[in-house]
Structure 1
Amino acid sequence: MKKMAKFISIVLIMAISISVAACSKSDVSDKVQNNKLQMIKDKGKLVVGTSPAYPPFEFVIGKGGKSEVVGADIDLSKKIAEKLGVELEISTMDFDTIIPSLNSGKIDIAVTGMTPTEERKKSVDFSDIYFEGVNSVVVNESFKGDIKNESDLKNLKIGVQKGSTQEIYAKEILKAEKVKSLNTVLDLVMDMKNGNLDAVIMSDIVAKINKKQTSGIKIIENIELKGDQSSETAAVALKKGDNEELLKEINSVIKELKDSGEYDKILNKNIDTASKVH
């Protein structure tokens, strides 16, 4: 009986030991799986998602007979990749597919002029803010209406980029009756020039660039847009929940660029480049 009891005890101890070891391995595996920073370093590449139709943040130029994606967000992405000691791969897509691509693991991070709204924070994590601006209203030079306030604006046929904070503002804050959403700002401007829209809401920096690039349009001055989505900020987006160490690295890059004034130089350089692209 004593021998049997001793045997049972040994079996139980071995079972517990195996169980603990298995749990330990599982915990280690989970930690490795959830350490996005280490995964990026292991593969030696940072895959960044962006929608290259939003100059000066991301846009396409011709270079050496080929198309190249450039912009302030691309330069920021390069700085992040340098900090991590890995290569940079840019993956282009429509803006409204960015968050699904993050959550599916198709891309590591998104750097695409994305504003960290409360709704988006439910789906993804965000870095510190790297850009702050305001929105503007663009119309054809031939536009005869009088837009002095939001009440005047809400009655017009308004164009906004699909999936943008301008779309949220127009539909949910302004509650405009006629809102048309398209994939790119250029599509919106062309649609407005063709008479299908009265006005397009976009970032003030983007509006100034489009005015330089496109004849026959103007920016409405002295109209104050209000509400949570009436201004524009931008942050890096990451898949929710597995990015603490990666987030620290990204925030350190953003802080360094902003504190040194280098981000302003990056932005101004790309404003100048985008203004010359036709």
Structure 2
Amino acid sequence: MRTLPLPAAQMNTPEYTIGVAQGTTAMSIVEARFPKSRIEYHMSLHDGYLAVQYGKIDAFAFDRHSLQYVAAHNPELALLPEKIGDERIVVGTALGKEALIGRVNDFIRQYRSDGTYADMYRRWIMGQNPKMPDLPKPARPAITLVIGTDGRNEPMNFYENGRLAGFDIEFAERLALFLNAKPVYHTIDFPAVVSAAATGKIDLLVSSLNATPERRRMMLFSDPYIDSEISFLARADRLPFQTADITRFSQLAGRKVVIITGSTYDRVLKKANPGAVPEYFQTFADQAEALRSGKIAAFLVDEPIARDIMNRTEDLTILPDRLTSDGYAFAFSRRRPDLRRQFNEALEEMRAGGALRKIDAKWFGKNEAAKVLPDLKTDGSNGVIRLATNSGLPPFAYIRDGQIVGYDIEIAMTIAAKFGWTVEISDMEVAAILPSLISGKSDMAACGITITEERSRSVLSALPRTKAALPSWSRPRGKLPKARRRAARGPGLSKVSRELSSSKNGMKWFCRGFG
């Protein structure tokens, strides 16, 4: 079979057949933008996926997040990198229910800021075997919410063992808990489910609803609760391979750029290059491997972590765009202002005495033999500090010889020993760290956490202590000469001082010449 053309607009000829599901936004976009193509209409998404797999159609258009799930579970399928059309996935309700939709928006803001959204996206969209979590129910619900959904769109809303499951369903369950409501579900096919919401037969429509101008005239919309766009699914063996080197961040429009789940990189990517296609990974090690294998075009990374990767890796390089500047800090539960105060005092002493500079030189240097934790003795007479971290973020926190070590770990343990505390370390995914602080399950967190306005509303932070540049990573077609690798680091990358106050972390990016 022939290779599909890029850009996809070249498929707007009678020799290409594009599949769509009836009644979807993707159908309207394909009809408007590919009028010369042969368009094949499918009653179900599953039929469209199979048509692509068996070569009956050239591509199938639908929501990118759903297609990502399909491609993750079917290695012979893949997404074309570019965006075909915009979409806003929202909750819908009848006109006149402004108060209800306002409360829905309150929940959406919370679930985005506390890491719940990123964690759900990782599990339902990128995961291999997603399952419904065991969520608590309101003890005394104040209202009953009738929620409409389609029930045939895996992984968003579908039946599993006779029960509704999926991203939309977990979202609805969490929303109901937030509203102190009892959810009751009605499964209704599209487009009838839209009419049911518009006429008030259901209270809320949670079914990957796209906010179109036509629908806006007949119902109210929430803010978007999942980020997506319209894309094409095709056979992986028909995607073109591009070898041109990427030298600037602007060249990543339409290409896959990986960000760490639960990090602040999501908002940075959207601002710096809205046309880039976000992918979510859990560790930088996985990102680097995906970059080498050509599965992604680039990934974002904090500059101190970038330097650590450069020390370990010969075939990746940093490209020059500086994307943002943030401060690093330890984060603390709002229940522990005393702990933050003591850490700030100790950090000031460590900076003044030169201890921070020595720790910086150890963990951000090239001498791997020196990267061990000191033997810090403490009797634990003043209690236990519950420290949340992620061991996939060297040099801040990582596993070496079966032990979690790193820059942040040494600082935390040094201060704990000073005050007579024992440190109890919990290794968890990045997206779970802030929720653990908010709930009080952890006292503090240390893993290269950047300070943002949203996070400051939920947790306390120590004085910032890091100054750096955040790059994204690239792998050109061949191995870089050492001189070019050094030049790619840019000014300030080879020597970075950790500052207690007014210090910044810059974001850059790594990239490889692959589409």
TM range (shorter): 0.3 to 0.5
Bigger relative contact order, structure 1 or 2 (CA pairs below 8 A, ≥6 apart)? 1
Give TM-score scaled by structure 1 length: 0.42
| TM-score, length of structure 2 as denominator length | 0.24
Instruction: Judging by fraction of residues, say which structure has more helix.
Output: 1
